[in-house]
Chains A and B, each alone.
Chain A
Amino acid sequence: MIEVDRVGRSFTVGRGRARRTVHAVRELSFTVGAGEFVGYLGPNGAGKSTTIKMLTGILAPTSGRLEVAGLDPTHRRTALARRIGVVFGQRTTLWWDLPLRDSFELVRHLYKVDRDDFRSRLAELAELLDLGGFLHTPVRQLSLGQRMRGDITAALLHDPSVLILDEPTIGLDVVSKAAMREFLRRLNAERGTTVLLTTHDLGDIEKLCRRIMLIDRGRLGFDGTLDDLRATAPGGDSLEDVVARLYTGEREPAPGG
């Protein structure tokens, strides 16, 4: 479903003498198969968002090859958009001034979703995510939790085979988080939707992700199951300690290097 082959992305920052090249992602390679649920971890600035933006076609890679749902994101961005769902936890992709229901109707037209499919899917999602109370409220008046549920719904109305989520639980309260996780778990288990999510919330990882990839300074530092991840540390450590060690440990220079 997702193939990343020696992908790099660099940015030129600063001007004049202070000009330098920053490698946000370098030589990154991984594949994600259909139906997987993958957590994509890494400290701030490690290259998570850059990866997500390349997978969705927002950013073009400077080197390497990408394929998502059978398409090259850079050259087939709008075609890819019909096959994937994307949710940014930090910002909405809904129309700020429109009532939620109007946003969904617009999504239906933009993604050319059949009217009957749309009705049944919206009814299903509205029930699962409990949208009934605020379908006619403008997006800007929604609480963060409500807005997030709206965003997820909008990303799933065209029934994408891949769902990419950038920090979907950020800022949510305990109850909303639990509901969101349960929804994503069922989506993956029952519909077989491939899910890739970035998060700083280890609860998301423990509850949801059968596979974990950890990126640090633009490279893949770990790729395996939750148990593999725990096994990298001596027994008794909490998951938080394990991840913190991976984040900081790899920042120390290698011996002799």
Chain B
Amino acid sequence: MARIYLLLAWTWLRASAQYPIPLVMMTLGSFVLNGLDVAAIWIIFEHTGSLGGFGLAEVMFLYGTAGMSFALADMLFGNVDRLSQHIRAGTFDAMLIRPVSAFVQMATDRFGVHRFGRLAQAAVVLGIALPRLDPPWSRLWMVPLMIGCGLVIFVSIFTIGGALQFLLTDAPEVSNAFTYGGSTLTQYPLTVYGGDLVRAVTFIVPLAFVNWQPALYVLGRDDPFGLPYGLRFAAPAAALALALAAALAWRTGIRRYRSTGS
């Protein structure tokens, strides 16, 4: 599976290298565009010392970790939510007649360097935040783990969004609300949102485990919503549960696939 992924991604990368100028422009564009997000955070802190009870470095930490997870997920598997385009164009049929996973073929379709722009930007933000926070070494192990779990959670959401398109070929936007919406939501401390929303993203769509809960552990903060302490370590379980749900949704979707006329 991983071998096929790398093979397809490499082939697409080579093909895209035929057009170096649009490639550089798109990479730069995505870097700059996402940089505006950080500028917005900066402007907020020009006017106030804290956001939802969290300082600038802490907010940048939340932004950077969620950004890394989302950027990696989007880079590796974000294309999966383009399923309806492939169904309408008939190219999904072509993927189904090949002896490798249609999921991997979808994910690698048109793989290009521009997918690295967002990742670089999130890494820079995290790189600025971490030394300022200077969390104890004994807690730093959580950082790579939380980025990994966040990656799995976002990939699962992309997958479920893609699987939904087997039913809703005309409404791919529905899934965008959860993928891109989820990415934006996790950029800020959850204290800026209401308690109901926080409970929903903790227990229904587990976005709180992308960065919020594990970050409380890394930053050594009390949970402003008073949820159990153990939730800080629940990210792997939440990621696994969501990944299983996503795999099931995808399999069911493929079975129910209707193709197009002709």
Contacts and interface: CB of A to CB of B under 8 A. Distances in A.
Q: Do A and B bind each other?
A: yes
Interface residues of A, number: 30
A2 interface: no
A79 B99 CA distance: 6
Nearest to A111: B99
A49 B262 contact: yes
Nearest to A155: B97
Given A11-B258, A59-B258, A109-B7, A91 B99 contact: no
A110 B8 CA distance: 9
Contacts of B221: none
A58 B97 contact: yes
28 contacts: A53-B93, A56-B96, A56-B97, A57-B97, A58-B93, A58-B96, A58-B257, A58-B259, A59-B257, A59-B259, A77-B96, A78-B101, A79-B99, A81-B98, A88-B90, A88-B94, A90-B90, A93-B94, A93-B97, A97-B16, A98-B11, A98-B15, A102-B14, A102-B15, A106-B7, A109-B4, A110-B7, A110-B98
B247 interface: no
A138 B14 CA distance: 12
B100 interface: yes
Interface of B: 4, 7-8, 11-12, 14-16, 18, 90-91, 93-94, 96-101, 110, 255-259, 261-262
Given A58-B96, A91-B93, A111-B99, 11 more contacts: A11-B258, A78-B99, A79-B99, A88-B93, A88-B94, A91-B91, A91-B94, A93-B97, A95-B11, A97-B15, A138-B15
A58 B96 CA distance: 6
Interface of A: 11, 49, 53, 56-60, 74, 77-79, 81-82, 86, 88, 90-93, 95, 97-98, 102, 106, 109-112, 138
Contacts of B4: 109-110
Contacts of A93: 94, 97-98
Contact of B99 (A95, A97, A110): A110
B10 to A, nearest CB: 10
A112 B98 CA distance: 12
- Find the residue from A57, A92, A109, A111 having the highest chain B CB count within 10 A: A109
B115 to A, nearest CB: 16
Contacts of A106: 7-8, 11
Nearest to A158: B99
A24 B100 CA distance: 28
Given A49-B262, A78-B101, A95-B15, A57 B7 contact: no
A53 B255 CA distance: 13
A59 B101 CA distance: 16
A23 to B, nearest CB: 14
Contact of A91 (B12, B15, B90, B96): B90
A102 B11 contact: yes
B95 to A, nearest CB: 9
Contacts of A109: 4, 7
Contacts of B101: 78
A57 B98 CA distance: 10
Nearest to B91: A91
A97 B12 CA distance: 8
B98 to A, nearest CB: 6
B8 to A, nearest CB: 7
A90 B261 CA distance: 12
Query: Which 5 residue pairs are nearest across A and B when measured between Cβ atoms?
Result: A81-B99, A93-B94, A86-B97, A58-B96, A78-B99
Given A90-B262, A97-B15, A106-B7, A82 B99 contact: yes
